[in-house]
Amino acid sequence: MAVRSARPSLYISVDIEADGPIPGPYSMISFGAAVAGRQDGASYTAADPEQHTFYRELRPIGDEYVPEALAVSGLDRDRLVREGAEPAAAMAEFRAWVREVSAGAQPVMCGYPASFDWTFLYWYLMRFGGDSPFGHSGCLDMKTLYAAKARVPLRAAVKGRMPKQLLSRRRHTHHALDDAIEQAELMSNLMLWTPPVGPGAAG
C-alpha cells in the first residue's frame, strides 16, 4: 500500500494580548498574525513576515480584567468597549484569512511560547464560530522547538540563552502584530538552524 505523503505545513506566527490569565472570565483584546514560512517534507522556505499579516483589536467580552495584564498591551479598554471589533466578526475574518494564505497547505499556529496564545486563540475560534482552521491541536511551541534542537531543558529555552543569530533584530513591543512578525523571524531562524555539535555548543 502506498504511503500518502503529508500536506505541506504553513506556519503562522500568532501573538495575542489579553486583559487576564484565561479566556472566558477575561478577554483577548488584540491579536496579530504573520506568515512565517512553509515546510514541504524536509524543506523549509522562510517568508517575508511583513507580506501576509492580520491584526484586530477586539471588544472585551466581560467586565473583569487584571489591571497589570491590561497595562502590558498599552491598549485603552474603554476605547475597545466602544470601538473594538465584535469577536464573532473578527474570528470569521481571521478564519478566511488563514484559509486564503494557507491554500494547498495545512496551517499551523506557532508562538513563543504557544501555550498562552493558543489557549486564547483556540477558545475564541470555537466560542465565536465553532471552527478552527488549525484543528484542535495545530500549534507549535517555539520554546519546545528550540529545546529539542539545542538539547537543553525547556526551562533553559529562553531568548537570553539562545545564539544571537536566531533572534530577530526587531523590538518586542507588546503590540500583537509587531510581536507576531518578530516571532515569525525567530520561527524561520529556528527551522533553518543546524545546531553545532558538542557539549554546550548550542548555548
Query: Do the Cβ atoms of 108 and 40 come closer than 8 Å?
Result: no
Res 198: pLDDT: 59
Cα 107 to Cα 85: distance, rounded to the nearest angstrom: 24
By annotation, the residues acting in catalysis are: 174
Burial class (CB in 10 A: 0-12, 13-18, 19+), 81: exposed
- What pTM was computed for the model? 0.92
What SS3 state is found at 58?
strand
Write the pLDDT tens digit of every residue in 95-152.
999 999 999 999 999 999 999 999 999 999 999 999 999 999 999 999 999 999 999 9
Closest CA to 99 of 91, 110, 88, 89: 91
Torsions phi, psi of 115, nearest 5?
Answer: -60, -45
Res 197: pLDDT: 73
Instruction: Give the CA distances from residue 60 to residues 23, 79, 84, 109, in Å, rounded to whole numbers and listed in that order.
Output: 11, 10, 8, 23
Indicate the pairing of strand 28-40 with strand 9-18: antiparallel
Query: pLDDT band at 203, cuts 50/70/90?
Result: very low
